[in-house]
Amino acid sequence: MVTESALRGEIVVTDRASPPAPAAVVPPAPVRRRRTGVLVGAAIALNVFLIAAWFLAYTFGLSAIQEQRTQRELYATFRGELAGAVAPIGGAIQPGRPVATLVAPEVGLTQAVVIEGTSSGDLLNGPGHLRNTPLPGQAGVAVIMGRGAAAGAPFARISEFVKGDPISMTTGQGTFTYVVDDVRRAGDPLPSALEPGSGRIVLVTSEGAGWRSGWAPSGVVYVDATLDGLVQPAPAGRPIAVPKYELPMQGDPTAWVPLVVWLQVGLVFALAAIWARRRWGRWETWLVAVPVTVAVLWGASENALQLLPNLL
């Protein structure tokens, strides 16, 4: 159809049919957003894997180095106290203080230093004496606990004891020889009651079976040994009871506070490292970040391990 425009003075040609509707515009798929999400997820998974790998390496490797160094220091301290006749012999003893040495070559124990206390943190430093029991050499049943997998696993082989094996223990009251009576587990008959004026030690640790053996203990093993000789007097003041976390296969809930502090320190340092990367450069930041990161991971792992059973 041809019409004449009165306003513009020109000829305009139009069709009778209405123009087709424009095609709908489909927005492009958010490829970049999906790709970013995948990268973030992969980064989180990688970090979780690395942290888990570090914790396993610390639990079954690095903690043993720490335990060996602490044992050397404890041995030097205890030897000096024995020479000066000031080694503790009972009463209220400060947890962590050395109280005895244990020798049993048949199961690989040579001058293992026993400390006072059996919390998960105490047993990171070596075998521990249950505080509400008498010391070795005294009348009654002295209980000594040790780890079976982590932190050097000093008691990993005590299940290999056989009846009649000797165990030598030295305290501030002298050296005492015990003779192994039995190795027992949950459900086995308990040893007979002690006669008045006699002594016994019970070594306690954890053990696993099958594929869990050596890294994921699931049970407790006990070694009973009777004192061969005369008992020594026990000073008064020994605790009547101990907290639950000092009993076998218990974690230490007091480790939560320092663990949270270490995690906060790690978060603050991570943010500081990001800032330093932009201001200093890559290699300068790595030079500072690596030792600090190791220190934070070490402190956090030590406290996280204390939350696990003390005989692990």
Q: Of the candidates 23, 61, 223, 229, which has an alpha carbon nearest to the alpha carbon of residue 143?
A: 223
Instruction: Read off the pLDDT band of 17 (50, 70, 90).
Output: low
Q: For 144-174, write each residue's pLDDT tens digit.
A: 999 999 999 999 999 999 999 999 999 999 9
DSSP state of 4: E
Going from the C-alpha of 120 to that of each of 70, 203, 262, 272, the distances in angstroms are: 15, 16, 18, 33
Please determine, for residue 11, whether its predicted confidence score (pLDDT) is greater than 50.
no
Please determine, for residue 22, whether its predicted confidence score (pLDDT) is greater than 70.
no
Top-confidence residue, 23 or 97: 97
Please provide the DSSP assignment of 206-275 as one string.
EE--GGGTTTS--EEEEEEEEE-S--B---S---S---GGGSTT---GGGHHHHHHHHHHHHHHHHHHHH
Phi, psi of 195 (to 5 degrees): -80, 150
| CA 114 remoteness from chain centre | 19
Which pLDDT does position 2 carry in this prediction? Answer: 46
What is the identity of the amino acid at 243? P
Query: What stretch of H or E contains 297?
Result: helix 282-306
Give the CATH number of domain 55-249; options: 2.40.260.10, 1.10.4080.10, 3.40.190.170, 3.40.228.10.
2.40.260.10
For the chain, give the percent of residues with pLDDT over 70.
Answer: 86
User: For residues 262 and 267, what is the distance between their CA atoms, to the nearest angstrom?
Assistant: 9
Which pLDDT does position 24 carry in this prediction? Answer: 57
User: For residues 200 and 190, what is the distance between their CA atoms, to the nearest angstrom?
Assistant: 13
Instruction: Read off the pLDDT band of 19 (50, 70, 90).
Output: low
Q: Of the candidates 204, 222, 220, 200, which has an alpha carbon nearest to the alpha carbon of residue 134?
A: 200
